[in-house]
Amino acid sequence: MYMLKPEETRPLKILLISPQGKMDDDSNQKPLFHMALAVLVSLTPPQHEIELVDEHFHDPIDYDGKYDVVGITSRTLEATRAYEIADTFRAHGKKVVLGGLHISFNAEEAAKHADCIVIGEADNLWTTILDDVAGNSLKSTYNSKDFPPVKEITPIDYARIAKVSKREKVDGTKSIPIYVTRGCPFNCSFCVTPNFTGKQYRAQKPELLKEQIESAKKHFFKANGRTAKPWFMLTDENLGINKKRLWEFLDLLRECDITFSVFLSVNFLEDPETVKKLVDAGCNFVLAGLESIKQSTLEAYNKGHVNSAEKYSKIIDDCRKAGLNIQGNFLMNPAIDTFEDIDELVKFVTKNHIFMPIFQIITPYPGTQMYWDYKNKGLITDEDWEKYNALHLVIKSDRYDPLLFQYKVLKSYTDIYSWRHIAARTWYNPKKMINLITSLAFRNHLRNQLAEFERHHGITPKILEGIK
Ligand code: B12
Ligand code: SF4
């Protein structure tokens, strides 16, 4: 039994929830737990008891549980569900704290559903909140800006997470999240980072990173015949800010004997030495925001300075030859992308056998420059947050009927997960197992979404043929 020290507050029972939006997917790419909650667990003083619930893994919620406080995270896509859970807990007399990216930029909206809202990062204020709950003096708002700046990365306490979460050990086909850095100094207009953690770039201390990886392996990984090494998802916004730093981290990761995936600007992959270091360190794929194969579009997103569409094929091919997959992320916008452009993109993805491609409809997430630009011009047509899964068109479209544009993207996206495409990609790319398993999850999810879309809107593929 834990013995309370004189300076410690009364022990609390804390429930932390990661809600799942109704239109969120069940893809295999999801990490084992949400890093925001991992940070909160790692910061929580030891006398408190924690329970972690993750709806992405269908963990049930006990609304009658004896919790002193319920903390809920949320991104925009999950906000409506977060509010639903919060309202239900409050109706059961529980104290609810809401935090996360969406809440930070929609404080007024969120305040209607919570006893307390948290704006910004919680690393510098979570223990104050717990002390205030224990002392019955919880305030209605805590803003990270009012606390000392977050200068360091909170090391993740994998042992405690293993104790409080419902996740079992996994093999190398499911990813364990970890972060090496936070922040990114770039200014892409569709991204929340520049207005959230962007300016506060920081990195893990090497020795702590190694310790965390060892602990994560011990508590969350079990090898099997197919996968001998664990798969870590590096949830950094952009690991490749600085080449020297990146190389140091890659050397360090190499010593850890793991596989990992990472978000990285594609321009870093032009350098063969960096690619080699990534492969040697165990990188199984890089998620790169390629966004478009049209240079004019890249310029429109403030991405022209880092990306050059012309070079994509060569970079992808060189990486593949070196043993590295690039997962391409593409954005589609009815104001700049025609149906022909989407067809061209499908051809490009097919020809280049792009690993686990992601198609997204441009979505102005609250907190992005793009959101304010569209909002000020009155161009946002839908603020039903459930639809902010990047497969709905929530902005005004003059060129195409919004529903048809959405259908075109969803149909093209589903088509690139046909058996033929999956087989070709698996054949040509390295790391076949991850490719196959995750592609099947994407395929199932997309086919279900498409079928639902066609049923709900009475649309058939024939309709698209007439409007090219
Ligand atoms: C890793 C990552 C992923 C991974 C893993 C996601 C996961 N489920 O964990 C993958 C690849 C699966 C993914 C998918 C998607 N992602 Co993503 N992803 C990220 C990334 C790069 C890092 C997230 C992370 O782990 N951060 C580390 C944690 C510690 O930070 P945090 O969540 O902000 O938490 C801190 C504070 O917010 C606060 N806090 C958070 N919650 C709470 C709760 C309480 C109670 C308190 C007190 C405080 C608090 O304290 C925490 C510690 O300081 C972010 C970029 C970013 N800037 O966050 C984008 C980001 C979150 N993703 C984004 C998007 C749009 C998506 C997708 C919709 C894209 C798509 N169509 O596929 C999907 C959605 C799937 C989903 N539901 O997660 C957007 C979200 C925008 C928004 N407003 O919602 C971001 C911000 C990127 C962007 N474009 O700007 N993503
Ligand atoms: S490079 Fe990536 S993380 Fe950085 S601002 Fe652009 S999209 Fe966001």
**Interval 100-143: pLDDT, tens:** 999 999 999 999 999 999 999 999 999 999 999 999 999 999 99
Give, in order, the Cα–Cα distances in Å from 246 to each of 232, 243, 375. 17, 5, 37
Distance 69 CA to ligand 2 centre (A): 34
**Which of the four pLDDT bands, split at 50, 70 and 90, describes residue 468?**
low
Proximal ligand: closest to the CA of 268: 2
Decide if pLDDT at 388 tops 70: yes
Does the structure show a pLDDT above 80 at 299?
Answer: no
pLDDT reading at 467 higher than 80: no
- Of 101, 105, 102, 99, give the one whose Cα is nearest residue 126: 99
1 has a pLDDT exceeding 90: no
Question: Which of 192, 284, 369, 389 has the most ligand 1 atoms within 8 A of CB, as the residue to mutate?
Answer: 192
Atom of ligand 2 nearest to the CA of 185: 4
Calculate how far, in angstroms, residue 193's C-alpha sits from the geometric centre of ligand 2: 7
Tens-digit pLDDT profile for residues 134-180: 999 999 999 999 999 999 999 999 999 999 999 999 999 899 999 99
User: Which atom of ligand 2 has the smallest separation from the CA of 194?
Assistant: 5
Tell me how far the alpha carbon of residue 194 lies from the centroid of ligand 2, in angstroms.
Answer: 8
Complete DSSP assignment for 224-281: -SS--S-EEEE--S-TTSSHHHHHHHHHHHHHT--EEEEE--GGGGG-HHHHHHHHHH
Ligand 1 atom nearest the C-alpha of 105 is 83
Of the residues 75, 150, 184, which should be mutated to test ligand 1's pocket, given the most ligand atoms within 8 Å of the CB? Answer: 75
The structural domains of the chain, ordered by start, are 13-145 (3.40.50.280), 168-465 (3.80.30.20)
Q: Is the CB of 99 under 6 A from ligand 1?
A: yes
pTM above threshold 0.85: yes
Which residues approach ligand 2 with their CB closer than 6 A?
184, 186, 188, 191, 193-194, 237-238, 265, 289
pLDDT of residue 313: 86
Tokens of residue 340, six digits: 């022909």
pLDDT band at 312 (very low <50, low <70, confident <90, very high): confident
The pLDDT, as a whole number, for residue 239 is 87
Of all atoms in ligand 2, which is nearest to the CA of residue 187? 5
Q: How far does residue 2's CA lie from ligand 2's centre (Å)?
A: 43
Q: Are 201 and 183 in contact (CB under 8 A)?
A: yes
Q: Is the CB of 35 under 6 A from ligand 1?
A: yes
pLDDT digit string, tens, across residues 414-455:
999 999 999 999 999 988 888 888 899 899 989 999 999 999
Tokens representing 461 are 């593929």
Ligand number nearest CA of 266 is: 2
Q: How far is 467 from 59, CA to CA, in rounded Å? A: 44
Give the pLDDT score at 305: 56
Spatial contact of 150 and 200, defined as CB atoms under 8 Å apart:
yes
| Ligand 2 centroid to residue 121 C-alpha, Å | 18
Whole-angstrom CA distances from 2 to 45, 46, 49 are 12, 8, 10
Exposure letters 280-315 (e unless 16+ CB within 10 A, then b): ebbbbbbbbbbbbbeeebbebbbbeebbebeebeeb
Task: Quote the CA–CA distance of 198 and 183 in Å, as a whole number.
Answer: 4
- Structural element, H or E, at residue 108: helix 107-111
Q: Supply the residue whose CA is at minimum distance from atom 1 of ligand 2.
A: 186
